[in-house]
């Protein structure tokens, strides 16, 4: 994967990795970090279990 520096020519990969580690360690679903020059929002997509249709019990005759 190619690294693209931001408009100031700064590569923030290490910062984003550190924020992702914090997200994992704290068990957070979302984390936002903002400075005057940078705004980062990390979000973990948690998939919900697919609903399962209930099967009706057979009726005794």
**Domain spans, the chain:** 12-44
Query: Rounded to two decimals, what is the model's pTM?
Result: 0.58
Is the separation of the CB atoms in 20 and 12 below 8 Å?
Answer: no
pLDDT in tens, 41-60: 999 876 666 777 777 777 77
Is the separation of the CB atoms in 8 and 37 below 8 Å?
Answer: yes
* pLDDT score of 1: 45
CA–CA distance, 55 with 8 (Å, rounded to integer): 59
Longest dimension (CA), the chain: 77
61 versus 5: the higher-pLDDT residue is: 61
Say which residues have a Cβ less than 8 Å from residue 31's Cβ, sequence separation at least 6: 19, 22, 23, 41, 42, 43
């Amino acid at each position: 994967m190619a690294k693209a520096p931001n408009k100031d020519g700064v590569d923030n990969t290490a910062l984003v990795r550190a924020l992702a580690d914090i997200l994992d360690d704290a068990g957070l679903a979302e984390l936002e970090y903002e400075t005057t020059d940078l705004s980062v929002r990390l979000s973990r997509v948690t998939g919900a279990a697919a609903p399962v249709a209930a099967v009706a019990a057979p009726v005794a005759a």
